[in-house]
């Protein structure tokens, strides 16, 4: 099973960035743990701060991989292009947000991704990525 995790802008700063909201662990550290815990998943990680690069990566893995876990970060709320890319591909997509976007500013309540995703997880910290992975590994 090939599963891609795609993170959007500023998520390269996890661990340093607003730790009260996003926690103190880097994503690289979390990803290593996830790979060890789920060796059957054949996990691939990609992060970019650039909208078009995220679209390119969604298109690249979207017809080949068995599932995508995506946290488009701030682009969730603004990017029609990322929403369209997710609608265009074959692989099932799970949207993850570390923080509870519905308990924050109003602009974070809009997602261009949710309607195109198999499902969305928010507010459960980094654990959300693992729960998304479990869903993709066990879906029929």
- The yes-or-no answer on residue 30 being catalytic is no
Helices marked H in the chain: 19-22, 27-37, 51-61, 80-88, 127-138
Closer by beta carbon to ligand DQA, 2 or else 125: 125
Dihedral (CA of 47, 49, 54, 56) sign: negative
Choose which of 108, 118, 131, 137 interacts with ligand DQA (CB under 6 A).
108
Q: Which two tokens mark 105?
A: 């500013």
Closer by beta carbon to ligand DQA, 37 or else 100: 100
Size of the site for ligand DQA (CB under 6 A): 10
User: Counting contacts by CB under 6 A, is residue 112 touching ligand DQA?
Assistant: no
Choose which of 68, 73, 82, 132 interacts with ligand DQA (CB under 6 A).
73
User: Counting contacts by CB under 6 A, is residue 10 touching ligand DQA?
Assistant: yes
User: Counting contacts by CB under 6 A, is residue 97 touching ligand DQA?
Assistant: yes
Per-residue b or e along 2-31, where b marks 16 or more CB atoms closer than 10 Å to that residue's CB? ebbbbbbbebbebeeeeeeebbeebbeebb
Interacting residue ranges for ligand DQA, rule: CB under 6 A: 10, 71, 73-74, 76, 97-99, 101, 108
């Amino acid at each position: 099973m090939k599963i891609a995790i795609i993170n959007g802008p500023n998520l390269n700063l996890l661990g340093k960035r607003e730790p009260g909201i996003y926690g103190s662990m880097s994503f690289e550290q979390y990803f290593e743990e996830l790979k060890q815990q789920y060796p059957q998943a054949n996990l691939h990680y990609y992060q970019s701060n650039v909208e078009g690069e995220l679209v390119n990566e969604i298109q690249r893995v979207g017809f080949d991989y068995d599932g995508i876990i995506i946290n488009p970060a701030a682009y969730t709320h603004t990017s029609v292009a990322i929403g369209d890319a997710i609608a265009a591909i074959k692989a099932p997509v799970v949207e993850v947000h570390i923080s509870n976007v519905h308990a924050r500013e109003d602009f974070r309540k809009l997602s261009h991704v949710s309607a195109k995703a198999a499902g969305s997880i928010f507010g459960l910290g980094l654990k959300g990525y693992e729960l998304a992975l479990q869903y993709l590994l066990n879906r029929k």
